[in-house]
Amino acid sequence: MEFSKLIFIINTALVLFITIWGMWLFSVAVFNEITVDFTPVVTLFGVIYTEYGATTAFYYNKAKAENKLKLAKKYKIEIGKEDMTFEED
């Protein structure tokens, strides 16, 4: 397994864990009528989803470049630097 895929999987698990933990925390507070400031937890949600979005974008960008190389090798197509740009065609 590639290291980037391992980071992506661990990051996904961490985001799921923090999301489930936060939902549990909110539900316990609502059902027990506890009034506390949830600003730190809400901030944590924003931070983890922002980081998850960045991780996902970089992972898919890397996968796109690797797939171009794999397909070029499979179909015996010579590629140059201009073919490896990450702009939409």
Residue 52 lies in a domain: yes
| Token output for 39 | 């600003």
Residue 35 lies in a domain: yes
Task: List the pLDDT tens digit at each of the 89 positions of the chain.
Answer: 789 899 999 999 999 999 999 999 999 999 999 888 999 999 999 999 999 999 999 999 998 888 888 888 888 887 776 665 555 54
What's the rounded Cα separation, in Å, for the pair 57 and 61?
6
Residue 28 lies in a domain: yes
- The pLDDT of residue 79: 75
- The pLDDT of residue 89: 47
Residue 41 lies in a domain: yes
Residue 51 lies in a domain: yes
> Would you say 7 and 55 are in contact if contact means Cβ atoms under 8 Å apart?
yes
Domains in the chain, number: 1
Structural domain containing residue 23:
3-84
Residue 89 lies in a domain: no
pTM for the structure as a whole: 0.74
Residue 62 lies in a domain: yes
Residue 14 lies in a domain: yes
- The pLDDT of residue 87: 53
